[in-house]
Chain A
Amino acid sequence: MIALGIALAFCLVCVLFSLFHLPSIRTSRMTQIGRAISTAVETRSPFLDGMFEEISDLSEQISVEMGIGKHDRQTTKVAALLCDIGLCSVPSAILQKTEEWTAEEQALFDRHTEIGASIVKQSAILRKYSTIVQHHHTKYEVEPMTPVASRIIGVAADYVRYKRVYGASRAMTAIDRQSGIQYDPHVVNSLKELVSLQ
């Protein structure tokens, strides 16, 4: 009986470990991998410094605002870190250029979503993010049914980028003008509420 008791206690520990401790380890590891990847991409250009962390935080805040479930929120957060992974195959000369891009350079840059998706597909554990990565710059009016995570990331990424260049208020106007065309209006509304709260 004592033996059985000990065994049951052991089983309970096993169950608790796999139910509560392991998932949290896995999410934190996933986030860490995402952070490492985003830092690696950021080092390619001074303009990108600390940007993905910001995008990731903003995406998470927007998804909280939109009332998205915990699991999807986690996915959004990690996907936001991975979204510009394709930039690692864009020549650093383009990324570091301060002047306006030529049409050719712009086209090379625009391919980063596709390349990113193909990179993400190579890895078994990142594969689930490939659709989100591929569609994070897709126009809302062309394809409204992209994953909600990529719509959120699309808005967050552009907002953060505009904010760095033009400042917060002009960035918001620019995003608002494209609402319904480039961006999902629900996401833009949530972003507006977030910004007005701050």
Chain B
Amino acid sequence: MGSRVLCYVGLRPQSKQLKQHEGVSDRTLEIALAITLSLILVTVARIATGTLSWVGLTAAFCTLCFLQGRILSRSFVVQIPFFLVCAIKQPFLGLGFFAIYTVFTILAAKVTIKRLTVILSSELITYCTFAILLPKMTPELWLFSGFAYLTLRTLFSMLIASRSGWPLDVGAISGSWAFVATQAFVSTATAIFYFEKTEVTQTLWLTLTLVSLFWTFTVYLYQRAHDEFGKGVVALSNLLNYSHVYTGSHSRRVAYLARETGRRLGIPEWKLDYLVHAALLHDIGKIAVNEKILEKPGRLTDEEFAEIKKHPVTGQKIVSNLSELKVISEWIRHHHERYDGTGYPDRLDKRKIPIESHVISIIDAYDAMTGHSADGHRRLYREPVSSEEAISEIKRCTGTQFDPRITKHFIRVIEERKGKVL
């Protein structure tokens, strides 16, 4: 048997939610599940064949490489990411491929189609399974194509390929990252058993296909449910738009910067989602404040200020209805606390304030000062200042109002973003 090329074109479902508020993603969970599943599958494969083969190990390594690259590349809104899975019998050659593969997964976000074609046309990857992931695809279409593909591939390989001995197996994978990762594993394993010509190939192939089919479906449904919740949160945060003028784009900008700053602070990806939700909802308590006070141009009286001061507590009350976001209601309560302990409502200081509240407080202040917005509404009570002035003001207040640990990271985020439009 000469060459066997397994070629897969994958289409990635477009997440509308990403656009809405810069990506609340549950990829982390998916990836964790995919890793677990791949490891289980490898173990099963090894038990079934009774061999501790190099190839068996390399398959697992491959999947892990991909996932690692995925985590490393971090930027989830990539244009044309792709990955390469190798099924090579010679371990050393195989390891060489893994090295190449890992590099490319890390670079995933930056590879263009041109370079991709060069790689694909080279003879080196004769025994490879590779996939191209394209953005812009609706989940329904993705699910449909996924099922159609799986059915066709099953029929093809059971009825035609196995009898005629054709070495070629071309197909398409579409789906979320976890699905493609699993599929990549499945095809790798298939190729391995094909090369090793073991007896269990057919059964195992069937098993793997079956598992990936059900797995995909469950992940799809889970993801949809998760997206729904995210959309609900967005709907809740949008409520403010209807009672006051400015706040909608404000909380979206805060959410965006919160994600960036949180990443710099080393907050894990799954926690970042909570931070983004908190940033979106941090001012929701203002819905209870009389709009006349918020839109008043001059100085506020003491009573008016006291009413505004209630909004973190009201926000906490509203958000505590969402049992999954219990943790963020605390952060919302404390987003007007100051580092020196003179803030409201609880006068907490320093380390007693949750770090996420600190993050939101700094970004809130920055955005309130710069106050630029796409929809033409500015904060009405103050003239907006430039980004540099706002930064120097934040620097001045570091240690009294803001936490120095966070300010330096936030300033770096702003400096990096200079020139780009939010």
Contact = CB atoms under 8 A, between A and B. Distances in A.
A30 B231 CA distance: 11
Given A32-B321, A43-B285, A37 B203 contact: no
Interface string B319-353: 10111100000000000000000000000000000
A29 B229 contact: yes
Contacts of B239: 37, 40-41, 85, 88, 119
Nearest to A15: B214
B236 interface: yes
A122 B235 contact: yes
A39 B210 contact: no
A40 B243 CA distance: 11
A15 B217 CA distance: 9
Interface in B95-152: none
Interface in A72-87: 85
B53 interface: no
Contacts, number: 123
A26 interface: yes
A36 B322 contact: yes
A93 B233 contact: no
A91 to B, nearest CB: 7
A79 to B, nearest CB: 14
B52 interface: no
Contact of A18 (B221, B228, B287, B292): B221
Contact of A22 (B221, B242, B288, B324): B221
Interface in A17-67: 17-18, 22, 25-26, 28-30, 32-33, 35-37, 39-41, 43-44
Interface residues of A, number: 42
A42 to B, nearest CB: 9
A125 B243 contact: no
Interface in B198-227: 200, 203-204, 206-208, 210-211, 213-215, 217-218, 221-222, 225
Given A29-B228, A124-B231, A4 B291 contact: no
Contacts of B213: 11
User: Mostly helix, strand, loop or mixed at chain A's interface?
Assistant: helix
B310 to A, nearest CB: 9
Given A30-B232, A40-B236, A18 B218 contact: yes
A125 B218 CA distance: 20
B218 A3 contact: no
B206 A39 contact: no
A124 B19 CA distance: 14
Chain B contact patch, size range: 35 or more
A33 B210 contact: no
A3 B234 contact: no
A39 B242 contact: no
B48 to A, nearest CB: 5
Contacts of B222: 18, 22
A98 interface: no
Contacts of A142: none
Contact of A3 (B207, B233, B321): B207
A18 B143 CA distance: 15
A119 B238 CA distance: 9
Contacts of A6: 44
Interface of A: 1-4, 6-8, 10-11, 14-15, 17-18, 22, 25-26, 28-30, 32-33, 35-37, 39-41, 43-44, 85, 88-89, 91-93, 115, 119, 122-126
17 contacts: A4-B206, A4-B207, A7-B208, A10-B215, A11-B211, A17-B218, A22-B221, A22-B225, A26-B225, A26-B228, A28-B323, A29-B228, A32-B322, A35-B321, A36-B319, A123-B232, A124-B231
